[in-house]
Amino acid sequence: MGKKKVLVVGGTGYLGQHLLQAYYASSSSSDTNGNGVSSFDLAFTHHSTPPPKLLLHAIPGSIPFQVDLKTGVGFESISNAFVPRACETDPDTAHAINVPSALVNWLQSFKEKSSLLIHLSTDQVYEGEKSFYKEEDIAIPVNVYGKTKVAAEQFISENYSNYAILRSSIIYGPQTVSPVPKSLPIQWMDGVLAKGEEVQFFHDEFRCPIFVKDLVNMILALTRLWMSEDKQIQLLLNTGGPDRVSRVQMAEAVAQFRGYDTSKIKSVSASSVDRGVKSPSDISMDITRLVQTLKIHPVSFKDGVRLTLEAEAKN
């Protein structure tokens, strides 16, 4: 069979863009005549149209496909143009989008069912009543988002045989080549703290934020494992950083790097704010299995903040 094919679902999003750049960099090399060659073909899905020109310019040769993940409309165009024929804010909407039934059904349509599905889940599947959850702990989500993510994990494990499910914590890091509209956590904290005014942060919600480059490297490692050994994978991994931190501690790390006045950081309880959705208190994760499986040690939160803000300064 020819070159492997990599499809990044949601390639215009925050993680998707970082992934595309990393896949492009890892696949590109030069032949003896100095011409660019690629070890695998690269494509991505997007919902809005057209895809960002900045992204297309940064990832030359990648193929964009417009896909509606809720209905599955657009997957057929990928089959026709990218996959060879020889390889033949309501709960209902949240479930339709977060449970990748259309994607899995599309993958199942090929006679050759060796494609690796790397699925991004969330630490919100945990109840939040203790520290450092392990993968074998029972998932008891407290909100609709977490419940739909658990449903997605179950659907994949029951209906597909070659997968890696990554339960990700907060993803942070530098902005993407085509800036995403959503607020990025470190950049937002940096912006509000730079004003020198008092800002409130929660002291009693804990996560294990992960630096985006680490998450990208983990996904690349899984891809290389699949490509090199060409065997089925069935993995469930907590995918967080090494540090259990509150929003207050996150803000303090930003302030300390920048030299801001940390006395402006005001500690408040998450219970003091009605966000319209229940949020688990402590969904920090034990990442021992992740480190042992992929031999990757995520950077500390303080180092991740430094790398993020240093990268922003260069842009």
Question: 172-198 pLDDT, tens per residue?
Answer: 999 999 998 888 999 999 999 999 999
Residue 271, judged by CB atoms within 10 A of its CB (0-12, 13-18, 19+), counts as: exposed
Q: Are 212 and 174 in contact (CB under 8 A)?
A: yes
221-235: average pLDDT: 87
The Cα angle at residue 202 between residues 183 and 91, in degrees rounded to 5: 60
When mean pLDDT is compared across 48-52, 115-119, 181-185, 308-312, the lowest value belongs to: 48-52
Q: Are 164 and 119 in contact (CB under 8 A)?
A: yes
| Domain residue extents for the chain | 4-314
The model's pTM is 0.87
Q: Give the pLDDT confidence score for residue 269 in this predicted structure.
A: 94
Distance between CA atoms of residues 279 and 149, nearest Å: 15
95-111: average pLDDT: 74
Q: Give the pLDDT confidence score for residue 134 in this predicted structure.
A: 98
When mean pLDDT is compared across 11-15, 113-117, 142-146, 255-259, the lowest value belongs to: 113-117
Query: Interhelix angle for 14-27 vs 212-229, to 10°?
Result: 50
Q: Give the pLDDT confidence score for residue 255 in this predicted structure.
A: 98
Cα atoms in the 13 Å half-sphere on the side-chain side of 52: 17
CATH of domain 4-314: 3.40.50.720
231-239: average pLDDT: 93
**Maximum mean pLDDT: which of 3-7, 61-65, 300-304:** 300-304
Q: Give the pLDDT confidence score for residue 115 in this predicted structure.
A: 85
pLDDT for 267 beyond 90: yes
Q: Mean pLDDT score of the chain, rounded to an integer? A: 87
119: phi then psi, degrees, rounded to nearest 5: -110, 130
